[in-house]
Structure 1
Amino acid sequence: MTPDHTLAGAHAPARKRSRLLKGLQGLAALSALAAACVGHAQTTTPRTAFVHLLEWKWTDVAKECESHLGPKGFAAVQVSPPNEHNWIATGDGAPFPWWMRYQPVSYSLDRSRSGNRAEFVDMVNRCNAVGVGIYVDAVINHMSGGDGGSSSAGNGWSHHGYPRVPYGTNDFHQPVCGINSADYNNDAWRVRNCELSGLQDLNTGTSYVRGKIADYLVDLVNIGVKGFRVDAAKHMDPADLGAIVDAVNGRVANKPYWYLEVIQADGEAVQPSQYYGLGGGAVNVLEFKYGTKISEKFSGKLADLKTFGESWGLSPSGKGVAFIDNHDKQRGHGGGGSYMTYHWGAPYDLANVFMLAWPYGYPQVMSSYAFVNSGTQFDSSYGPPYNSDGSTKGPWDGGVSAPACFNQNRGGWVCEHRFRPIANMVGFRNATAANWTVDNWWDNGNNQIAFGRGDKGFVVINKEGATLSRSFATGLPAGQYCDVIGGDLVNGACTGNVITVVSGGAANIAVAANSAAAIHVGAKVGSTDPGTGTGTTPAAGTASVTFKVTASTVMGQNLYVVGDVTALGVWTPANAVAMSVVPGTNAGQQNQWTATFPLPSATGIQYKYIKRDGSGNTTWESGSNRTATTAASGGSQTLTDTWK
């Protein structure tokens, strides 16, 4: 692959307030999280984070569980609604908008945009086999919108007429009414009994409707589904939803995990706390304030995060599902303020690093397909990559050995869950779950912070334009640890920097601008005798390589090096290695930038330099890829270049 192209991003715009179709998100931790929250001993390393694979096909989810999610330690994957849904090839939002998945036509699994029932069952079995649960986005508040049409399975339906359930007029709230903006502050009854954006609102107050919904969910649990995100739960009466939860829990051997979409705004008539008691108190809620607060501080001052948590108005940690963004919030749907997205570039990665390191709630990682923040209805509705017939063009199509990810152009898969800083921090969270506290906090009063998780892990986040280098009290046992932000632990050796912790817990750690470092007991690559020197050293089988490049930049730009090996990010800008300016080299607008880190020894590499700004806009060097052969094991070398 020769990435002679430019990937561009932009800051997330101010979000418009819209009540358009709600979507997928997070779920919440099962017993592993609960045990971690109260400090119970773990017999095995718990899995404590999950991912939302937005609009992935069932066959692709199965492959991703086996190749990435299981090995990286993800607890579960949230999948798109699996039931038969409205099919929109023309008209409003067409063709094939993402939100047609949120317009049910029946509860049949025979055919959705993600695949058929046999493929769904196979996915559940294969993911369960590698320790990754399946969480289903359950759309049970309403059916479709409009007066009729054709479904994903080719079946017809009409207004208040769904013969494949079956539902008729009396199964919907009558008389029909629509939710007005003022209702959210003044009238909980209308929020829960009137139509949301014209979607036909089910009368869940009847035992018949509740029974049909329960039958659907019980079928999924019997297949092996581990949990449910309840879409638009805010628009369901807590008593009705509680009756459905109890009915399902009472009919299955293993109760599923439940988490609810209840978008919170201060002063509104419907609040998440009104749902806390459902399922005997076991139901959780999506914490929408989490992402807005993180966005505020990553646009402001990270040092303020020292007290982040319930005192900031968040739900109790044991109730909340944390997320930086979701498919709705990426597009400005649902109100609730500004959220970060992959368009932000490095700051988005750092926000996810913080979320996965900080002891609050059950974190959900977002995994997207590319979209444009233009504010138009087309881009707001734009569905996943698709073929001419509307079928999804999946990242694993064509029998490839690795998914087609990291494409931020429309029609591509972004796969944030595969960005190394995000993917490897899942292991950090798993390793630190038993220490549900923060200690050894440090900050510079601005945008450089560091903190520990007892004797299990330590993280440093540098959202400033210069390298951070100092000694930290980590609290970890003496030894050598792989910095999982920049490298992977492979067969006991680290492909990136190795950080040495001496007796007493101190370590010298250097973190490039707009980057991070993280070490934990699950990524220990060796041990050191008490009193040995601190610092960053190359692992066995590696050579220390210094990259130097002279380049001109504009205000806000930084230099990175990216290449064809894991330690160089495998041509992925989000995983590129940040460089720092060599003091005293400024000649006009020309500076020399440098970065030193270990690479596999005696190995041919290809690489390029890129420029990125705070918005994630990326500029690649022109011309062919640079090439070099690294020094022998334990050796060092310097590659000196000029931007081209």
Structure 2
Amino acid sequence: MMRRHPGRSLAVAAALVAATAVPVSLVSAAAPALASSPAKDVTANLFMWNWNSVASECTNVLGPDGYAAVQVAPPEDSMTDAADGHPWWEIYQPVDYDLTSRMGDDAQFRAMVGACHQAGVKVYVDAVLNHMARQDGNDTSYGGASYTPGSSYPAYSSPDFHNYPNDCPVSSDQITDWNDYTQVTECELDALPDLRTESAYVRSTEAAYLNKLIGYGVDGFRLDAAKHIGHTDLAALESLLNKDTTTGQPVYIVQEVAFGSSNTQLQPSSFENTGSLIGFDYADAIKTQFTGDIADFGGFSSWSLIPGAYSSTFVNNHDTERDGSNLSYKNGATYVLATEFLLAWGFGTPQVYSGFTWNNTGDSPPSDANGYVTGTNCSSGWYCTDRITGVANMVGWHNLALAGGDPVANWYTDGTNLIAFSRGPDAWISLDNESSAQTRTFTTGLPDGTYCDIIHGSVSGGTCTGPTVTVSGNRATVTVPAHDAVAIDRGSRVSGPSTATFTVNVNANATTSWGQNVYIVGSIPALGSWSPANAVALSSRNYPYWTAALSVPANTYLEYKYIKIDSSGNVTWESGANRYYTTGSSGSITFNDTWRS
């Protein structure tokens, strides 16, 4: 939510201060999940997109481009403030836990989760649990519920809230000392009625809401204002949550814990026992470097940041783009370049933010007269970072490096604002934050050949839609445009010396309707580069087994899925995450797969 207090320093020095954990007594709970599947982990934060638009984006963009998950806005029924033009922050003031929100209703939400899972994309929900709506607007919600701030809501009454003097030591009920643990956790944040989260009733009510979402297939949660809930209450709440319906494991948890407190109990490191953490320090450092000298990333290993295993890293989110502490779409090419760096560097679990454009910090997203968010139009009123060619293609680049466990290598810098590096032998990038184009000969670490520059083009049908880069003896002479990047990876090679091949025998069990045929499509040109038009047809001779013998490059990581195409050209993708495999230096493998409905 919007943090209006001066809790976070904008100086990079403060952002990079090491925080020392303190012992905290926690209620026994299963450890929350910290990451996605090993082959992909990028989340797209589609801030305030309505549920129909999220579903479409999962199907048409996020799934095919290799995103692991989507984070969606709080789906609770919230207050409505027509007098102020329905500001975005309405959704952070819940009235009820019914799923009637600005973004859609219960049925649309469930359909969205199903569509995203069908595309192999997990769904993370922004959950507001610290407080309820205050005295704003008409004291009614989008779902038509009435409430009296701090005393009466469909699920709560006065005893369910903290107050002075029983809990909050300040007569105004407001936080005045941001270093006082009791005030931060039991007084009101921005005059928002603070829930008594130590109460068994409040915990069970909140857990019932989250478990309903888990039952709908939700894979994890962003816990808004987690710092103001406190360690013990968070652990107790998490102990009541059901397991992920797909994996049977604890759901993913990421917590909003801002820096700025000298009290170690309120620093992010003390919340590591209850989940991942939003990497505000990393985003601050990104802004500092990209408005200064990106060569400083060469000293990254010495920076004191939230450990990568816990950090959800990002360039900006809905709060920080408005308070000016981080970069935003208003920074133009620098913002895009920073997002491409985020995906290339490989620290933490990266999140790409796509929101709406704004002039005033409280502006509403594009909505109808009643405040309901209209369909996302990336050419008007919205800034869809996740779709930008360089960003979308860098997700696949990132996944390739992630799958190989590739460290940063072949580091180059001109000492100021031109850098380059590889991720092991699989991927290479150069970023130019200078005001003019820069030409250098770089060591890429990649095999000889001609590669598609995926920042400015894509591989389609074995050819590149943009400029290419020629690698010879692991080196390439490249001109990097101003405030731009050039990137290549093993999957983007469009030609090269004769290389060894590996045989993949496909044996997929899939039943079809009349007129349907089954195809395999995947991340490399030999599998159509994720284009259904270039997918490889399988033979139905041994129906219901669909077969083929394919020759693919040796020693190559690939991802793939099966699709069905009917006589009218309609494409149906199998559900679940992308399948993946790394070919050997020679020989063959048989994919004995079964269609996932």
TM class, shorter-length: 0.7 to 0.9
Of the three residues 140, 144, 147, the one matched with 2:129 is: 140
- 8 Å contact kept, 2:389–2:455: yes
Tell me how far 1:514 sits from its aligned partner.
Answer: 1.6
Give the whole-Å Cα distance in 1 for the aligned partners of 2:478 and 2:61.
Answer: 29
Give the whole-Å Cα distance in 1 for the aligned partners of 2:379 and 2:307.
Answer: 35
- 8 Å contact kept, 2:76–2:94: yes
2:227 aligned with 1:234, yes or no? Answer: yes
- Match of 1:352? 339
- 8 Å contact kept, 1:124–1:224: yes
- Match of 1:452? 422
Tell me how far 1:16 sits from its aligned partner.
Answer: 7.9
Of the three residues 260, 263, 281, the one matched with 2:258 is: 263
Tell me how far 1:250 sits from its aligned partner.
Answer: 6.0
Of the three residues 27, 30, 35, the one matched with 1:30 is: 35
Q: Deviations over 1:235-284 (max 9, x none)?
A: 01101001111210469644210000001126245101111112xxxx10
- 8 Å contact kept, 2:356–2:365: yes
Of the three residues 125, 140, 148, the one matched with 1:150 is: 140
The one-letter amino acid of 2:260's match is: A
Give the whole-Å Cα distance in 1 for the aligned partners of 2:291 and 2:280.
Answer: 18
Correspondence 1:524-603 to 2 at 5 A: 524-528=493-497
2:367 aligned with 1:386, yes or no? Answer: yes
Partner of 2:395, secondary structure, is helix
- Match of 2:101? 112
2:93 aligned with 1:103, yes or no? Answer: yes
Give the whole-Å Cα distance in 2 for the aligned partners of 1:18 and 1:405.
Answer: 33
- Match of 1:537? none
- 8 Å contact kept, 2:175–2:188: no
2:189 aligned with 1:184, yes or no? Answer: no
Correspondence 1:500-539 to 2 at 5 A: 500-502=470-472, 504-528=473-497
- Match of 1:427? 396
- Match of 2:557? none
2:317 aligned with 1:326, yes or no? Answer: yes
Partner of 1:262, secondary structure, is coil
Correspondence 1:408-423 to 2 at 5 A: 412-423=381-392
Give the whole-Å Cα distance in 2 for the aligned partners of 1:323 and 1:74.
Answer: 14
Tell me how far 1:494 sits from its aligned partner.
Answer: 1.1
Of the three residues 278, 303, 306, the one matched with 2:298 is: 306
Tell me how far 1:18 sits from its aligned partner.
Answer: 5.1
- Match of 1:276? 272
Partner of 2:193, secondary structure, is strand
Give the whole-Å Cα distance in 2 for the aligned partners of 1:317 and 1:423.
Answer: 22
Of the three residues 434, 437, 441, the one matched with 2:407 is: 437
Give the whole-Å Cα distance in 1 for the aligned partners of 2:232 and 2:33.
Answer: 21
Residues 17 and 123 of structure 1, relative CA distance in 2, 3 Å threshold: same
Residues 221 and 16 of structure 1, relative CA distance in 2, 3 Å threshold: closer
The one-letter amino acid of 1:150's match is: T
* Structure 2 stretches lacking a partner, 5+ long: 9-31, 500-524, 526-597
Residues 468 and 210 of structure 1, relative CA distance in 2, 3 Å threshold: same
Give the whole-Å Cα distance in 1 for the aligned partners of 2:406 and 2:426.
Answer: 10
TM-score scaled by length of structure 1? 0.69
Partner of 1:508, secondary structure, is strand
Of the three residues 186, 190, 196, the one matched with 1:203 is: 196
The one-letter amino acid of 2:321's match is: Q
Tell me how far 1:233 sits from its aligned partner.
Answer: 0.2
The one-letter amino acid of 2:276's match is: N
- Match of 2:355? 368
Aligned pair count reads: 465
Give the whole-Å Cα distance in 2 for the aligned partners of 1:19 and 1:314.
Answer: 17
Deviates more, 1:169-178 or 1:417-426: 169-178
Partner of 1:425, secondary structure, is helix
Partner of 2:52, secondary structure, is helix
- 8 Å contact kept, 1:172–1:201: yes
Give the whole-Å Cα distance in 2 for the aligned partners of 1:151 and 1:145.
Answer: 12
Partner of 1:446, secondary structure, is coil
Residues 28 and 299 of structure 1, relative CA distance in 2, 3 Å threshold: farther
Residues 498 and 231 of structure 1, relative CA distance in 2, 3 Å threshold: same
Give the whole-Å Cα distance in 2 for the aligned partners of 1:179 and 1:191.
Answer: 11
2:330 aligned with 1:343, yes or no? Answer: yes
Q: Deviations over 1:152-172 (max 9, x none)?
A: 1111111234442x2111111
The one-letter amino acid of 2:35's match is: L
Tell me how far 1:495 sits from its aligned partner.
Answer: 0.4
2:80 aligned with 1:87, yes or no? Answer: yes
Tell me how far 1:519 sits from its aligned partner.
Answer: 0.8
Partner of 1:343, secondary structure, is helix
Correspondence 1:240-251 to 2 at 5 A: 240-249=233-242
Partner of 2:241, secondary structure, is helix
Partner of 1:516, secondary structure, is strand
Tell me how far 1:75 sits from its aligned partner.
Answer: 0.8
Of the three residues 498, 502, 523, the one matched with 2:468 is: 498
The one-letter amino acid of 1:231's match is: D
Aligned-residue CA RMSD (Å): 2.3
- Match of 1:125? 114
TM-score scaled by length of structure 2? 0.74
Of the three residues 153, 158, 161, the one matched with 1:172 is: 161
Residues 326 and 190 of structure 1, relative CA distance in 2, 3 Å threshold: same
Partner of 1:291, secondary structure, is helix
Tell me how far 1:522 sits from its aligned partner.
Answer: 2.6
Give the whole-Å Cα distance in 2 for the aligned partners of 1:427 and 1:490.
Answer: 14
The one-letter amino acid of 1:245's match is: E
Residues 163 and 338 of structure 1, relative CA distance in 2, 3 Å threshold: closer
Tell me how far 1:105 sits from its aligned partner.
Answer: 0.7
- 8 Å contact kept, 1:179–1:197: no
Partner of 1:331, secondary structure, is helix
Q: Deviations over 1:67-86 (max 9, x none)?
A: 11111111111111011111
Q: Deviations over 1:506-537 (max 9, x none)?
A: 1222211221001112322232359xxxxxxx
Give the whole-Å Cα distance in 2 for the aligned partners of 1:85 and 1:19.
Answer: 26
Residues 61 and 170 of structure 1, relative CA distance in 2, 3 Å threshold: same
Partner of 2:289, secondary structure, is helix
The one-letter amino acid of 1:30's match is: A
- 8 Å contact kept, 1:19–1:196: no
Tell me how far 1:477 sits from its aligned partner.
Answer: 2.1
Q: Percent identity?
A: 39
The one-letter amino acid of 2:341's match is: F
Give the whole-Å Cα distance in 2 for the aligned partners of 1:16 and 1:105.
Answer: 21
Tell me how far 1:184 sits from its aligned partner.
Answer: 1.4
Give the whole-Å Cα distance in 2 for the aligned partners of 1:79 and 1:52.
Answer: 6
Residues 208 and 420 of structure 1, relative CA distance in 2, 3 Å threshold: same
Tell me how far 1:480 sits from its aligned partner.
Answer: 2.4
Partner of 1:357, secondary structure, is helix
Give the whole-Å Cα distance in 2 for the aligned partners of 1:422 and 1:95.
Answer: 33
- 8 Å contact kept, 1:28–1:321: no
Residues 73 and 391 of structure 1, relative CA distance in 2, 3 Å threshold: same
Residues 356 and 67 of structure 1, relative CA distance in 2, 3 Å threshold: same
- 8 Å contact kept, 1:105–1:162: no
Give the whole-Å Cα distance in 2 for the aligned partners of 1:494 and 1:29.
Answer: 36
Q: Deviations over 1:380-413 (max 9, x none)?
A: 1111011222222222xxxxxxxx2144xxxx11
Give the whole-Å Cα distance in 2 for the aligned partners of 1:304 and 1:427.
Answer: 26
